[in-house]
Amino acid sequence: RDFLSPVFPFPVPFPVPFPVPFPVPFPVPFPVPFPVPFPVPFPVPFPFPVPLSFPVPLPFSLFELL
C-alpha cells in the first residue's frame, strides 16, 4: 500500500486506550506526547497527512482506519 509510505511530521495529540491488533513492521520517528497503553515494538517511518485528534475506542485495522 502506498499510504504506508507517507510521514507523520507532528505529534499525535490523543490517548490510545486500546490495543492495536495488527502488526506494524516499521519505526516511529515522531514525538508521542501521550500514554501508549499497548506494546509498540517497532518504528513508524511515515508521517500522518492529517492530525489524529479523534478518539478510537474500538480495535481497528490500519486499512479500515484509512
C-alpha cell at 57: 475506542
Q: Which residue type is seen at 22? A: F
Half-sphere exposure of 30 (CA within 13 A, CB side): 15
Q: Which of 13, 40, 17, 45 is nearest to 29 (CA)?
A: 45
List the chain domain ranges.
1-66
Q: What is the pTM of this model?
A: 0.13
Percent over 90 (pLDDT), the chain? 0
Q: What is the pLDDT of residues 39-66, one digit of tens each?
A: 454 444 444 444 444 444 444 444 444 4
- What average pLDDT does range 10-18 have in this prediction? 50
- Per-residue pLDDT band for 16 (boundaries 50, 70, 90) equals low
**Alpha-carbon gap, residue 17 to 20, rounded angstroms:** 10
Name the one residue in this structure whose C-alpha cell is 508521517. 47
**Confidence at residue 65, expressed as pLDDT on a 0 to 100 scale:** 46
**Confidence at residue 60, expressed as pLDDT on a 0 to 100 scale:** 46
The torsion defined by the Cα of 48, 33, 24 and 18, in degrees rounded to 10, comes to -110
